Chain A
Amino acid sequence: MLTGIDYFVVVAYLLGILILGFYFKRYVGSTEDYFLGGKSLPFWAIAMSIVVSDIGAMDFVGVSGQAYRYGISVGNFDWIGSVPAMLLAAFIFVPYFWRAGLYTIPEYLGRRYNRHVRTLASLTWILFFAVNLGVLFWASAALLNVLMGWPIWTSIFVTAGVVGLYTYFGGITAVVMTDVVQFIIMFVGGLALVFLSFHAVGGWDALVEKIYAKGPEYANHFNLIQPSTTSTPFPWTGILFGLTFVMANAYMIGNQSIVQRCLTAKDEWNAKASMILGAGLKMLIPVLVLFPGLIAIVLHPELEDGDQAFPLMIKSILPPGLIGLMFAAFFAGLMSSVDSCLNSTATLFTKDIYEPFFKKDATDQHYLKVGRMTTIVLLITGVLTAPLSDFFPGIYVAIQTFLSFFQGPVFAILLLGIFWPGATSMGGLFGLVIGIGFATTLNIFQSSIFTIQDPFLYVSWWSFVLAFVICIVVSLFTKKYKLEELDGLVFRKISSSPNTP
């Protein structure tokens, strides 16, 4: 399917990314450089990196497929499901994390609650990232195989080689700065497809008219707000309570790979600005991933599986050259997800597990070496475990479901931790453990409890509520922290730490 010019575009892109990423090796001399970019990065680069890390190669296909099936309501995830959470993160959480000189979110939980909470949260994320890496490799490579005809192992080795080299040597600075290029490639490739697709369908008005003409089952395809009685996974109640109040906040505030980028900012203003600009840029994502799915309803109306919409649109709409650019955009999505996994897991392992449990008080160069070795070990593990996904086809969904068990409870204790000085060590631990247990139970019995398809939004909300209540109740009956112990860890108790300008 690829022509000569397409190959040229793809190879030029891969080489460019490799050279750019390798260039940043010169800026890495300590763990702070490797994990936090020496706290020197500008807001615009971090904002682009946050956005591009959030969208992987499979999201192009998955979100387009959902738009094909359910319409525009899937856009809620990037609109109300991101903007309020990113503003909350920008003005409340990120400044405190940045000022406290943190490397990881579990590190905050450890300082605020206790080391058990820190270890549990950290191990959860490490497990998620490590397993996700193999799945990411395989699923994306399989997608590229279907789309472009590239052998699966070629895609995996090319991605692992390029990403591994620049992440190993350049650390998070290389990750963020290559993400900037990946962001531009992704937008140019994606917008080209959207523009040409609209041209093919006759413009916006024609698209709306043709979809509505298909019958009453398409009557809600252009409504962002779905009734609470809808059978789709996106009733407004789930969007408001589960997504806006819990999942979005848990993702933007509790996700190591997102927050770690803000911690690389050169000052507190840049840290806040990165999240706000990121919120603005993120609002553009549905344009890239959602509209091709909607347009496919008109151009390819007989699809059995909505996930076929995006690949078909590429094949039927894009000319040679732009197919190569779209292929590069897929690679960009894959590489930005893989580099986030690698660097975040290396940070979590080095700072939350290795340093406190294996070797305290070693030199900074020793921890830098451990961070780099972790990156390599993870990469090799990811490549070796990638084929497992072929034997367990539901593993991707299983991993996402597994993560959803933790979102609500972790956000509950983060929220109470930063806003309520009364939250105690035991309150945090009990809230987290019982909340996770409750989310797991709800998931196991979901078919007999919930009426909507795939009720992860409701599971997140109710597990958040229970963890929140448990944390408060247990905190009321257990030993409180002294106020001076919470300096810099609770809202309105600002520390005069060395990071404060």
Chain B
Amino acid sequence: MLNFDWLAGVSADTAKYIFYILFLLIAILVLLIPNSYIFLGLPQDQRHWWKNLKLWSILVLMCLAMVYYIF
């Protein structure tokens, strides 16, 4: 059990889909965070769309998914 023998039947291709699902799950969780929490610390007049950290996170996750798609 400690060697994860019970997952030996899962192929590397299927494992890749598990990784994609993880990325998607993280992206959904990030999108669910309220904007008020994302911008906490910034004054109201500086809360521009490009400072929305959800966008930054989604961009990073898309790059990550692309790397796993290519390799």
Contact = CB atoms under 8 A, between A and B. Distances in A.
- Whether A and B are associated in the same complex: the answer reads yes
Interface of A: 72, 75, 79-80, 83-84, 87, 90-91, 95, 222-229, 235-238, 240-241, 244, 267-273, 276-277, 279-280, 283, 442, 449-452, 458, 462, 501
Contacts of A268: 40-41
B63 to A, nearest CB: 6
A384 B21 CA distance: 50
Contact of A228 (B7, B26, B64): B7
Contact of B53 (A79, A90, A225): A90
A325 B59 CA distance: 32
Interface SS, A side: helix
Interface of B: 2-4, 7-8, 10-13, 15-16, 18-19, 22-23, 26, 30, 33, 37-42, 51, 53, 56-57, 59-61, 63-64, 67-68, 71
A222 B41 contact: no
Nearest to B51: A269
A324 to B, nearest CB: 32
A269 B40 contact: yes
B60 A449 contact: no
Given A237-B4, A276-B56, A79 B42 contact: no
B8 to A, nearest CB: 5
A151 B3 CA distance: 45
A271 B12 contact: no
A219 to B, nearest CB: 12
Contacts of B53: 90-91, 269, 272-273, 276
B4 A458 contact: yes
A225 B12 CA distance: 6
A276 to B, nearest CB: 5
B68 to A, nearest CB: 6
A96 B33 CA distance: 15
Contacts of B51: 269, 273
Contact of A267 (B4, B15, B41, B71): B41
A449 B41 CA distance: 49
B31 to A, nearest CB: 11
Contacts of B57: 87, 90-91, 276
Given A240-B18, A267-B41, A269-B42, A228 B60 contact: no
Contacts of B18: 240
Contacts of A91: 30, 33, 37, 53, 57
A173 to B, nearest CB: 19
Given A224-B68, A225-B12, A237-B4, A271 B60 contact: no
A280 B19 contact: no
B12 A458 contact: no
24 contacts: A80-B22, A83-B61, A87-B57, A90-B57, A91-B33, A95-B40, A224-B71, A226-B12, A227-B12, A228-B7, A228-B10, A229-B8, A236-B15, A241-B4, A269-B39, A269-B42, A269-B51, A273-B56, A276-B60, A283-B67, A449-B2, A450-B2, A450-B3, A462-B2
